[in-house]
Structure 1
Amino acid sequence: MIEELIRRAAAEDDDAMEKLCETAAADPRRLVPHHQLLLDLDMWWPATLYRAADAGVVRRVIERIDDGQSTDDLNNLLLILAHTAHPLAESALRRWSTHPPAGADQLHVGALSYALEGGWTLDPTGDQRDLCGDTAYRLVLRDEPRRVGGPTCPWCAAPLWVAADLDTTEPAIGAALAHTRWSGRLVFETCHNCACYTTLYNQVTPGGGATWWAGNTRPSCLPPETAVPEDPPTQTSVPGPALASPYQSSAWDRGGSTLGGRPDWIQDAEHPDCPDCGQPMDYVGLIGGADLDDLGEGAYYLHLHQPCGFTAVNYQQS
């Protein structure tokens, strides 16, 4: 059945490609026996089809890049390697960061930056660090009484929105945040409006403290300060049922909000750098616009850097 879907997708059958992507999200290992066929058919996109690729497939992609005959496909081939997060892929990306392959002059970023698309990076010691977790839960949006007299955005004067109030003593939250090494209560408080224009940072404490970072920089594209403040969503998020795969978040569909797991980026991967140490921050969860509003679009992405005590919220839309 999967082989038939692959051949149909290679013939530009959109329904078949959608089913393959659903399989890659629900259980990437089901595609492992078929990766060689994907390569034979020059199906380099989407790279997420190769998440569970084995060493043989990774070597074949590396060899294709090294032989310099696929410069037009270099972007997609590097994405494939990033999504595998395989040690051989890591080694190749390191090598190409100092000795770029043919065609690299046409790329917008260096080879090693592609690791972020796969949800990992190299720490200051050079070791691979996962930015995402392998356990995910559905995030359920629950209506809460609107806060009166709470903190407001220093830019637009709108009441700040508590996008999530998490406590790692709850087993589900502790499992979803294990990769961040956070212990205690974690509050994501942000401006739902201004976060659509720039990444907003907070300084946080394990007791649930959340303070607007003084270094947040107001973008020039924000509406004028004389605009009427817009009320934030009335919902906050709480963990729901466990998901079968960490790849089942959706920035598009109702019910796609998740805690933990891997982000569904609408655009390129956008893991913010910690404003204190400059290291990429860990991904915590996604709140989809479809869950906030039946007509909503886009998604808010939640991030944390435990060593420095910073959270970040950014937003993407089509």
Structure 2
Amino acid sequence: MVVEQFAQWVRHPPGWGETLHIAPQDYAREAGWELTSGGQRRNLYFSTCTPLERGANTTDSGIRTTIARTDNCPQCAMPLTNLFELSSNTCDLPELENWRVSVAIACCERCTCAATVFGCVDDSGQAHWSPQNILPAPLPTDTGAYDKLPSNVLRAGPQRPPLFAAHEFLPTTFSQLGGHPTWIQDARYPLCPDCEQTMMFLGQLDHQDMEDGTEGIYYAFICLDCRTTATSYQQS
């Protein structure tokens, strides 16, 4: 009934819709889904969810986080990071099994705080900076004064329901692979720069889970068709 109501608003835009910030049907993204062109529901998050807890990552879960790279951001010259490195054979996301390679999500920790940063994954699973990035300028260039995220300090915990951390005030931890994102501000799913389809939420890292006295969540997204990735950031 809810999907049909949103579809009806697409076919017959209500007069009160002009008073909103976005079209009525676009509010469905706050609940993690959107309408397809055929009026059907398309979920924007994966149904499986693996929480990530602080601790030595010694198990072969197929999940590593915040791994330093050897190349630098073309925009601010800060060393790039792989926000996630996933083994498609062992991580609990069935949707990645068809890739048959590992998956890495490239990120500039500084630029991601200012804008959505796009990456791409090649046939061997290696992550690259996307040539389609258009970032705001000027960005700070004093990378020496910026503390990098701790490397690989999170380990996989027992699976939990996908909505377990869907709200920022729930009494739980928020770093996870899969599941519904924990938006601190509005729901902002990026559009794939290649196919212009809304990208799916892949996972998130809460800075506080990695380092005491910090805040903010880093989000990772993926377009399974185009092998495009994206990262963004929100804080209170």
TM class, shorter-length: 0.7 to 0.9
Please list, as runs of the form range in 1=range in 2, the aligned pairs for 1:154-165 lying within 5 A after superposition.
154-165=74-85
Alpha-carbon distance change, 227 to 132 in structure 1, aligned in 2, over 3 angstroms: closer
Partner of 1:235: 151
Contact 1:180 1:305 in 2 (8 A): no
Match of 2:27 among 114, 122, 136: 114
Unmatched segments (≥5 aa) in structure 2: 58-65
Contact 2:45 2:201 in 1 (8 A): yes
Match of 2:46 among 115, 119, 133: 133
Partner of 1:104: 17
Q: Decide which structure has greater helix share.
A: 1
- Matched residue of 2:144: which SS? coil
Please list, as runs of the form range in 1=range in 2, the aligned pairs for 1:44-193 lying within 5 A after superposition.
88-141=1-54, 150-170=70-90, 172-175=91-94, 178=95, 182-193=99-110
Shift of 1:101: 3.0
The amino acid across from 1:139 in the alignment is: L
1:40-96 Cα offsets, whole Å, 9 max, x none, are xxxxxxxxxxxxxxxxxxxxxxxxxxxxxxxxxxxxxxxxxxxxxxxx111111111
- Matched residue of 2:93: which SS? helix
CA distance in structure 2 between the aligned counterparts of 1:149 and 1:195, rounded to whole angstroms: 16
Partner of 1:247: 163
Shift of 1:120: 1.2
Alpha-carbon distance change, 304 to 180 in structure 1, aligned in 2, over 3 angstroms: farther
Match of 2:205 among 287, 297, 306: 287
Partner of 2:62: none
The amino acid across from 1:186 in the alignment is: V
1:221-273 Cα offsets, whole Å, 9 max, x none, are 622x3553635213235432211x21123657773201111111001111110
Partner of 1:273: 191
- Matched residue of 1:241: which SS? coil
CA distance in structure 2 between the aligned counterparts of 1:227 and 1:160, rounded to whole angstroms: 11
Shift of 1:135: 1.5
TM-score for the superposition, normalised by structure 1: 0.63
User: Could you tell which deviates more after superposition, 292-301 or 117-126?
Assistant: 117-126
Alpha-carbon distance change, 263 to 105 in structure 1, aligned in 2, over 3 angstroms: same
Shift of 1:181: 6.2
Alpha-carbon distance change, 229 to 150 in structure 1, aligned in 2, over 3 angstroms: farther
Alpha-carbon distance change, 111 to 148 in structure 1, aligned in 2, over 3 angstroms: closer
- Matched residue of 1:247: which SS? coil
Match of 1:264 among 166, 182, 186: 182
CA distance in structure 2 between the aligned counterparts of 1:149 and 1:128, rounded to whole angstroms: 38
2:139 corresponds to 1:222: yes
Alpha-carbon distance change, 182 to 295 in structure 1, aligned in 2, over 3 angstroms: farther
Contact 2:219 2:233 in 1 (8 A): yes
Contact 1:159 1:232 in 2 (8 A): no
The amino acid across from 2:187 in the alignment is: A
TM-score for the superposition, normalised by structure 2: 0.84
Contact 2:88 2:97 in 1 (8 A): no
Contact 1:140 1:238 in 2 (8 A): yes
Alpha-carbon distance change, 295 to 165 in structure 1, aligned in 2, over 3 angstroms: same
CA distance in structure 1 between the aligned counterparts of 2:211 and 2:5, rounded to whole angstroms: 43
Shift of 1:301: 0.8
The amino acid across from 2:3 in the alignment is: E
Contact 1:167 1:185 in 2 (8 A): yes
Contact 2:176 2:203 in 1 (8 A): yes
Partner of 2:61: none
CA distance in structure 2 between the aligned counterparts of 1:99 and 1:261, rounded to whole angstroms: 32
Q: Decide which structure has greater strand share.
A: 2
CA distance in structure 1 between the aligned counterparts of 2:109 and 2:195, rounded to whole angstroms: 26
Unmatched segments (≥5 aa) in structure 1: 1-87
- Matched residue of 1:91: which SS? helix
Please list, as runs of the form range in 1=range in 2, the aligned pairs for 1:34-45 lying within 5 A after superposition.
none
Which entry has the higher C-alpha Rg, 1 or 2?
1
Question: Percent identical across equivalent pairs?
Answer: 32
